[in-house]
Structure 1
Amino acid sequence: MENGKGIKTEDPEIDQYRVDFTSPPDPDDPKCWPDTTKWIVTGVLSATGLNRIMVSTIMAPALTNIASSLSMNNEESVMSMSVYLLATAFGPLIIGPLSEVYGRSPVLHGTNIWFLIWNIVCGFSNSKGLLIASRLLAGFGASAIYALAGGVLSDIWPAEQRGRSLGLYILIPMLGAAIGPIIGGFITEATTWRWIFWSTSVLQGLMVVASLFAFRETYAPTILHRKAKRLRKSTGDSRYYTQFERDFNSRSAVWILQKSLTRPMRLLAFHPIIQIQACLSGFNYGILYIMLSTFADLWTSQYEESISISGLHYISICLGEVVGAFVSGHVIDTIFRRLKDKAKGAAAPEYRVPVMIPSAILAPTGLLIYGWTAYSHSHWLVVDIGAAILAFGMTFGGQALQAYVIDSYPDHASSASAATQFLRSLTAFGFPLFAPAMYTTMGYGWGNTFLACLYIVIGILGPLILWFYGPKLRQKASSF
């Protein structure tokens, strides 16, 4: 982005040349766009997230086939799936800040194409090294969705509609994590495992084309910069400027990039709010991926079902997430409005916290039902009900937590999302690695009981800290 070096910031009349959004409704202001346009942008982002997240789990039913085809041991085959999640830990740390320098649109389109290329390479891999490397690079491109989502939703939706917009956005990507193994199971039985990657690449190609036509730039500083640039060109007057250009008038492009690229890690290192959010979200995500990575094995090894039939049980997880997204979105907005009215119009991110508490009861309940019914080989429907309750509880609380992140850092929502995503992806990568050993040693009953006890402690303590100390922690936070 230009730094506006031709602008004379000492001119006493310079404010008349500042380019900004006019009083609402300004058609250039993303928050003033028609709801139809907002939902199209949200829908494109959500559909893009579906494929990127679905690819993270679609390999699960095919790991045995892939290991046999490429001469991999069990650890290497699990690594080929999990390394994708490892990339999503580090990718947002770069991609999120870049979207706050160059805008959301070029980052979305660029990572769409990057992900497509490396996902195709996965399908043509003829060695375990190439498969793991291409999965890592594909995951880097896919990780953009984790950084962009919070930023784009913050750009276009007001706080009063945060729950509803988050609910409908999260709905489709969350389905991707659960339906991935279902699709992967049927593809593995019907044809070669390589079609897991080729079929998702076809879908990704369609997403690339759709996003090019339907996605609009949402980041206000980028929109205003383009507007100021047009005015300077059309009028020949270099005094037109934006506030961003004025703030960084004396800074080099290298300094701006360095400041932006280090922001997520500075947030994670020095901001207690982000640290608490990252721990809550990371534990939540780790439990989800333990369930996703071991669910198919439960049905094939304990219930002796086929790969394709075992994948159908992921429908219970889908249902839990769908209902959780819809219910949570409505509850988040309702509670926010009531608490805001009670405070005579004063809004605060802490108004999202009450929605997090039920998750600390619902998710452990689901874990216990799922674990002990699986341990006793109960009817499959009871096990699936436990899994559905677990998915519902995690989605219910996770959505409120994401809304809290966006409200706490509205000007840098992408960087804040990237900071919390770092720990989430690490737990999603690491937790499934110890899950088989845990269930082998403790069994599904005691293994899930151990996880449920941790969930209750973390799930209640974290929100209470945010509720009572959140405002003070934000005030004491270091500059970012």
Structure 2
Amino acid sequence: MAQAANNEVCEPAQEKEIGLVGDVKTRPADSFLVHFEESGDPLNPKNWPVKKKWVVTSVLSVTGFNRIMVSTIMAPALPDIAAELNMNQTTSVMALSVYLLATAFGPLLIGPLSEIYGRKPVLHGTNIWFLVWNIVCGFANSKSVLIAARLLAGFGASAIYTLGGGVLGDIWRAEERGRSLALYMLVPLLGAAVGPILGGIITSATTWRWMFWSTSIFQLVASILSFFLFHETYAHTILKERAKALRSSTGDTRYHAPIENVQKDQKKGWIWQRNLSRPCRLLIFHPIVQIQALVSGFAYGVTYLVISSYANLWITRYGESASTSGLHYLAMCIGEILGAQIGGLLMDLVFQRLKKRRGGTITAEFHVPLMLPGCAITILGFLLFGWSAQSREFWVAVDLGALLLSFGSTLTGQTLQAYVIDSYPDHTSSALAASQLVRSLTAFGFPLFGPQLYAALGYGWGNSLLALITAAIGIPSPIVLWMFGAKLRSKASSTY
């Protein structure tokens, strides 16, 4: 049944919910199978009141803001940290990037765990884990302690990369994907750009250690709020609890949830092996996940390359102070905000128009068309940013290029995320964990060769090379997905 649900391509949106637990048409005639009612079941997260959906989305968005902000907040303070802890340039950049290395491998465990135990316990557990190790970063008295604590904090922070998409897929319908992603991504995207700005201000006003202490205070407040405001969203977990309650109240052990039916007679070792190996299996065997990993991985890596080197550009080529150079990250911040908000509106608009054109049927490919303009805007941003910086043009031209670069990357990434959410409804977190592995590895590695790239080619030709690679990856990908995406999904084996 899982395979049948995952292989559905086009169905009237009002007739079915995509996925194992809500697929009305493929539901077996089993009077003891516990499932959501076919219409209006209040336990079904997709039937929750809109206000409750926005509250849950906002909780994830706020905690995502802090976790992502911590990934970049160190950028302008690296010289001060290096001087105090006796670090060279490579080691100090490692302290920044090792956080992202953890976000590569953390989701491979955390994503499947959220599909075994549910989203709620995983969110609360990783909130506490991240808080503890982020505090340790602030008290680090050696480079080894700082790097180790950053690595462990990044592991806890990585949960947001898989939980976010998983929860959005749990509670929002396909035609609402754009606006839900727009709100969810608004605050976390701010984090990546606001991090260096805040880091520069804190470093100038006090000590770099307050970067970690202040974000830990914020994390503590967000964690407490999440205990009261976040509700379980994963349908399999909700139905397992409903089946358990029915078995307890009736004394009839035949009641079972769909996922229990799939796992019946299977040993715990087999269940764990299938769940924990899922992200890697998706990355190895599913072309849709491979395409998302390639496109979003390169875009993510380049974003962190620019973030890690942007302050140095303004300090060395324009003679600005660390605090002033940090203000230029506002350009990237604005680009990401505009990309998320405009992209979300356009995504739902395009989806509705294509749905109407297809006579009310829907398919995940309706999200794909916006990838092409996203790629084109990214290329334009690279060229404007690179050649303006190379010739030391007025700062507005450089910041405008960075804004366009961020806008295009955000638009492309948001569209791809929506496509994967609707392509893998039962195991969204695992699918996103697979692509996050590549994204985080590139975000970890690209800043390490950024200085060498610009030293060898300059900002003009260096960014032109990145624009060329963007075109080579970003233009064919949406064409392949639009033409062959449905066929690839129909031939995909069960994600269980």
**TM band (smaller chain):** over 0.9
User: What are the Cα deviations for residues 263-300 of structure 1, in whole angstroms up to 9, with x where unaligned?
Assistant: 00000001111111110010111111111111111111
Q: Which aligned pairs between 1:79-478 and structure 2 lie closer than 5 A?
A: 79-478=94-493
Amino acid at match of 1:114: W
Q: Secondary structure at the match of 2:362?
A: coil
1:63 maps to which residue?
A: 78
Amino acid at match of 1:303: Y
2:32 maps to which residue?
A: 17
Amino acid at match of 2:384: I
| 2: CA distance, partners of 1:154 / 1:476 | 22
**1:264–1:419 Cα contact (<8 Å) kept:** yes
Q: Structure 1 residue runs of 4+, over 3 Å off? A: none
| 2: CA distance, partners of 1:411 / 1:437 | 43
2:3 maps to which residue?
A: none
TM superposition shift of 1:102: 0.3
User: What are the Cα deviations for residues 207-263 of structure 1, in whole angstroms up to 9, with x where unaligned?
Assistant: 110110100000011011111112222222222211111211111222211100000
Q: TM-score, normalised by structure 1?
A: 0.96
TM superposition shift of 1:18: 2.1
CA RMSD after TM alignment: 1.2
TM superposition shift of 1:14: 8.8
Q: Percent identity?
A: 60
| 1: CA distance, partners of 2:446 / 2:489 | 30
2:91 maps to which residue?
A: 76
TM superposition shift of 1:15: 2.5
**1:86–1:136 Cα contact (<8 Å) kept:** yes
Q: Secondary structure at the match of 2:361?
A: coil
Q: Secondary structure at the match of 1:358?
A: helix
| 2: CA distance, partners of 1:236 / 1:440 | 72
| 2: CA distance, partners of 1:452 / 1:14 | 55
Amino acid at match of 2:58: G
Q: Secondary structure at the match of 2:141?
A: coil
Amino acid at match of 1:130: V
TM superposition shift of 1:457: 1.6
| 2: CA distance, partners of 1:245 / 1:457 | 45
Q: Secondary structure at the match of 2:31?
A: helix
Q: Secondary structure at the match of 1:251?
A: coil
5+ residue gaps, structure 1: 1-12
Amino acid at match of 1:49: G
**1:272–1:477 Cα contact (<8 Å) kept:** no
| 1: CA distance, partners of 2:338 / 2:152 | 33
TM superposition shift of 1:456: 1.3
Summarize the Cα distance change of 1:30–1:187 in structure 2 as closer, same or farther, 3 Å threshold.
Answer: same
TM superposition shift of 1:342: 1.3
| 1: CA distance, partners of 2:187 / 2:393 | 31
Amino acid at match of 2:340: A
What is the aligned length?
A: 468
1:6 maps to which residue?
A: none
Q: Secondary structure at the match of 2:71?
A: helix
1:5 maps to which residue?
A: none
TM superposition shift of 1:360: 1.6
| 2: CA distance, partners of 1:86 / 1:478 | 30
| 2: CA distance, partners of 1:258 / 1:188 | 46
Summarize the Cα distance change of 1:60–1:35 in structure 2 as closer, same or farther, 3 Å threshold.
Answer: same
| 2: CA distance, partners of 1:244 / 1:120 | 39
| 2: CA distance, partners of 1:14 / 1:230 | 21
| 2: CA distance, partners of 1:254 / 1:471 | 33
Q: Secondary structure at the match of 1:432?
A: helix
Amino acid at match of 1:34: P
- Report the more deviating stretch, 368-377 or 259-268: 368-377
| 2: CA distance, partners of 1:163 / 1:227 | 31
TM superposition shift of 1:22: 1.5
**1:14–1:239 Cα contact (<8 Å) kept:** no
| 2: CA distance, partners of 1:342 / 1:111 | 44
**1:270–1:478 Cα contact (<8 Å) kept:** no
